[in-house]
Amino acid sequence: MLSRFIPTIPSRLKRAIVSRNAFGKSLFSTSASFDLFTPSEEHRALRETVRSFVEKEVEPQATDYNRAEKFNEKLFKRLGEIGLLGMTADEKHGGSSMDAVAVCIAHEELSASDPAFCLSFLAHSLLFVNNLNLNGSEEQKAKYLPDACTGELLGGMGMSEPGAGTDVLGMATRAELDKDGKSYVLNGSKMWITNGARNETELGDVFLVYARTSGTQGSGTAGRYSLFLVEKGMQGFSLGSKINDKLGMRASNTAQIHFDNVRLPVSTHLVGHEGDAVKHMMRNLEIERLALAAMSLGIARRSIEVMSQYAQERKAFGQSINRFGQIQRHIGESYAEYAAGRAYVYSVARTMDLTKGGGRIDSDGVKRYCAPMATTVAGRAVQVLGGNGYIGAYNVERLWRDAKLLEIGGGTNESHEKNITKDLSKSGNRLP
């Protein structure tokens, strides 16, 4: 009986703890059917659908498109056909109204095959679609979201700049309100923009761009920043360059984009209100970082599968190399670290409300753990495969290169450590 282990608790509380609920189950009982990773039949169907899609359509093209450093637009539109491009958007605007667990499932499954393609999916579905769905006006959502959810529009988000990365509030891009009060005039540049280009010469279609609307350049208060819709074809909006020869994520287009006196009507292109962008930015960063952590899971899972299978089949000194302790350590440590990260990711996802912020410590924490974990696990897979791990045939060298971006993009490891330390201090340094 539980009460024998808690003798210092008052008898009345002991009785409450060991009592049974209205359904006759102990309050400490755990349902055998509970699944942290696919908690509902809808989630299970989603995982099965995406995994099947990955096996049939994503995996066959992954190596070729990465080698060519090309974005697969046709495959991207297929994501729209199965309801993923607008997975968190309202159904009335063409979305699927899914939750954070569903976001993790989709990103884990896609990145197990092609993290670069998944990164473009993330930038579109979360940095643009989810952001606009939560913060845009009904008119803005009705105009852009239906085509974004089908993939007819390719969307992205502009936050980082050549001189402002982790210090995002040091951005120099500026939007000045015109004298007539009806338009902003946008000037500046954004860097490292996923989906910033469709190809070497053509911009993506539509972007949510953060800009300073008051105050002086340099780190500043939250009320000095606003969010704008910027579309391809606007006078003064141009592609600086598509960034090639990246270490990894080569099938995801990255670009620098420029704004030279781009005129943005207040009534249609200001998202929310002037000065309220930072709170929306921080809220959207939470789901972005959770999704990047889920991508890390996909990379780690695939790497473990490859090295485990290879170690079983590869013979050395008369036996399978998985009989050697050095190899067992690579596989065993990798599995344990992956399993711990997966539990953390889905635990955070189950409690995340996409309409609210305030979960930064764990969105930072889960990415801080999972991103370097994926790089480490993929590196171990390369080591286990030896020379075969160093070439493209087994995919782990590509996964290793792709994984490194997750330690930088969406917040560096160091920025997460800074945020976690700050948030712990605010909480009185007490953990639940």
Q: What DSSP string describes 317-383? A: TTEEGGGSHHHHHHHHHHHHHHHHHHHHHHHHHHH--TT----HHHHHHHHHHHHHHHHHHHHHHHH
Amino acid at 328: Q
Burial of 214 (0-12, 13-18, 19+ CB in 10 A): middle
User: DSSP code of 55?
Assistant: I
User: DSSP code of 198?
Assistant: S
- Residue 288 is a catalytic residue: yes
Long-range contact set of residues 307-314: C-beta below 8 Å, sequence gap at least 24: 307/331, 307/334, 307/380, 307/381, 307/384, 307/385, 307/396, 310/384, 310/385, 310/388, 310/394, 311/384
Q: Do 306 and 385 contact (CB within 8 A), yes or no?
A: yes
294 vs 255: CA distance, rounded Å = 24
Within 8 A by CB and 6+ apart from 323, the residues are: none
Amino acid at 231: E
CA distances from 303 to 51, 121, 322, 413 (A): 16, 21, 15, 21
Amino acid at 157: M
236 vs 217: CA distance, rounded Å = 22
> Which of 69, 108, 109, 288 is labelled catalytic?
288
Q: What is the three-class DSSP state of 313? A: helix
- Report, as residue numbers or ranges, the catalytic residues: 288
